[in-house]
Amino acid sequence: MVELTPLQDLLAILSGAAVGFSLGLIGGGGSILAVPLLLYVVGYPDPHVVIGTTALAVSVNAYLNLVPHARAGNVRWRPGIAFAMVGAAAALLGSQLGKAVDGHRLLFLFAILMLVVAWRMARPRAGGGDARHRSAGMEMLWLVGVGAAAGLLSGFFGIGGGFLIVPGLMLATGMPILAAIGTSLFSVGTFGMATALSYAWSGLLDARVAALYIGGGVLGGWLGARLATRLGRNKQALNRIFAGIVALTALYMLERNLSAFGL
């Protein structure tokens, strides 16, 4: 594993705080920034180790951020567990595919996904879920389908997948946005843990750096969750700010990794 300087250690803690804050506040956004923060702000050189390490950090931060949301009554456990279990199995498959791809090509594809995330985050998002009433069986089918797709992407790119999980839960169950944000954290944690275990098995995880990320994420996540409860559904302007940051980061990553495709 790579030896970091004291400054890089501090930057890892601050990066973890940014990830945790976003996870606690909007149920996503920060996890998509975890990889580029560790690569370009902290300066960790190996893309695959970065993906495995940030997957563990995002997972633990998501589980920690789940606690205040659960205490506030923002977690729907039955659909959340069903979504997470299906998605975790898909995340294991996705992580195997991701490890087989050249690191710089994976980052290029990751940047394209970030642009999609930015677009999704910038769109107005309704406060409630799908108003249609579904039977328990149909709801479960929606949970399985969306959970599998989100888990596959989460494992492949080493992300939490909150940007897919939150609207997916709203669509499948009709739950309001605050409940979807709280519930999504269980899936974000479970997907990330499945991915991290897969990368750790291949020796592609730096536990020390993950611990620094997690330490920063504890404080950031606590602040984000408290602010989420206070703001309720009035967070669209903040979503757009995050979307802009994600989009600019994605463009930078595209430029840095064009050579992987001979461009």
In a domain, 249, yes or no: no
CA diameter of the chain: 56
Establish if 110 belongs to a structural domain: no
Who contacts 242 (Cβ-Cβ below 8 Å, separation ≥6)?
22, 26, 29, 121
Is 257 within the bounds of a domain?
A: no
For the stretch 103-136, what's the b/e string if a residue is b when 16 or more beta carbons lie within 10 angstroms of its beta carbon?
bbebbbbbbebbbebbebbbeebeeebbeeeeee
Per-residue pLDDT of the chain (263 residues; tens, 9 = 90+): 788 899 999 999 999 998 878 766 765 666 678 888 999 899 998 989 999 999 998 888 888 878 888 998 989 999 999 999 999 999 999 999 989 888 878 888 888 888 887 787 677 655 555 445 667 778 888 899 989 988 998 888 877 777 778 877 887 888 887 888 889 989 989 998 999 999 999 999 999 999 999 999 888 878 877 776 676 555 566 667 677 777 888 888 888 777 766 65
Domain count, the chain: 1
Residue 115 in domain: no
Does 252 fall in a domain? no
pTM over 0.85: no
Amino acid at 27: G
Q: What are phi and psi of 5, to 5 degrees?
A: -80, 165
Helix (H) or strand (E) holding 152: helix 136-157
pLDDT number for residue 60 = 87
CA distance 97 to 15: 27
How confident is the model at residue 131, as a pLDDT? 44
**pLDDT of 82:** 94
Residue 256 covered by a domain? no
Tell me if 16 is assigned to some domain. Answer: yes
Within a domain: residue 263? no
The domain in which residue 55 lies consists of 6-102+123-244
Separation CA 255–CA 263 (nearest Å)? 10
SS percent in the chain: helix, strand, coil, step 5: 80, 0, 20
Residue 77: per-residue pLDDT: 94
Report the distance separating Cα 254 and Cα 152, nearest Å.
Answer: 22
Contact predicate 79/172, CB 8 Å: yes
